[in-house]
Structure 1
Amino acid sequence: MSNPEKTGPQQVERIQGRFPPGRSGNPKGRPPGSGKTALLRARLLEGCPEVVEMLIERAREGDVQAARIILDKVLPNLKPEATGVSLPLLDQGSLSDRGESVLGLLASAEIGPEQASKLLSVLVGVARLHEVTELAKRIEVLETTQKRPLPA
């Protein structure tokens, strides 16, 4: 497999399977930025100002697609903003009752699907916290009844 006569940094690197950061596995290979992609990018950058000016001119003349291209690149898509909601129903009952309340609010269109999803995710997190707290209490009871701590 490995030649015992060959020792040195490259042999060690091959044994470990990685090259150190900043050191190429093929130092005499093609330099970065010398491929077809770099050439294409350079040519595109040369003609870019003219293309943008043409798009702006066409958009001014009423070309809807040109206007759309410009707007898609300049203005990001709007994302829905969450607004604060007061939900007194979520202060009562068990976690499953609260989850059903969220589904009821969704069904009656008082909240949207995104808000309902977020509220249900919060309830899942609360349920996990309850589980962890309950497990910690049970472990504490077991340790005190056995009068010796369980190994960590």
Structure 2
Amino acid sequence: MAFKKGQSGNPKGRPVGVGLAGEIRQHISSNSKALIDKAIELALNGDTTALRLCIERVCPSIKSKDEAVVLGAMNGSLSEQGGVVIQSMAEGKITPSEATGLLGALVNQARICEVDEIESRLSKLEATNYNS
């Protein structure tokens, strides 16, 4: 039987959990208690890799938070607002990653303002040329 162009020979695909990875996952899952106990034992006996593994599970790395950032007065030009963001970061009021996000938002706002200004100028030019 020849292969038909555009038609899969196995439309349902491989079943989930089949193959070596699925077997390994199932074996680890069925022995999870013993593996956890062994990792803790190794960590307590000075194995730094096991220690890091245990600590990372208990105390995961700090991630940025998605909360509103209050900076005070964000008035003035976009460059002045950018200055407020940088000053807030320098004073430790916000993290560098939060400052990067805020500055990115200001850059996007600047692009929007540019497009608005170009559209306004174009409309005026078209109106002038149309009336001429």
Q: Which one has more relative contact order, counting CA pairs under 8 Å at least 6 apart?
A: 2
- The residue aligned with 1:135 is 118
1:121 to 101, 104, 107: 104
Q: CA RMSD in A?
A: 4.0
2:26 to 42, 50, 55: 42
2:129 to 146, 149, 152: 146
Q: Select between 138-147 and 79-88 the one with higher mean Cα deviation.
A: 79-88
1:23 is aligned to 2:11: yes
TM-score (norm 2): 0.62
Identity of aligned residues (%): 27
**1:131 offset after TM fit, Å?**
1.0
Give the 3-state SS of the residue equivalent to 1:100 in structure 2: helix
1:85 is aligned to 2:70: yes
TM-score (norm 1): 0.56
Give the 3-state SS of the residue equivalent to 1:91 in structure 2: coil
**1:80 offset after TM fit, Å?**
4.2
Preserved contact between residue 64 and residue 97 of structure 2 (Cα < 8 Å) = no
Give the 3-state SS of the residue equivalent to 1:147 in structure 2: helix
- The count of aligned residue pairs is 128
Matches within 5 A, 1:57-76: 58=41, 62=44, 69-73=53-57, 76=60
- The residue aligned with 1:112 is 95
- Identify unmatched segments of 5+ residues in structure 1: 1-5
**1:132 offset after TM fit, Å?**
1.6
Q: Deviations over 1:63-107 (max 9, x none)?
A: 57666534533554332445632332x302x22233234334434
Q: Deviations over 1:100-140 (max 9, x none)?
A: 34334434445432232222112112101211211221222
Give the 3-state SS of the residue equivalent to 1:123 in structure 2: helix
1:97 is aligned to 2:85: no
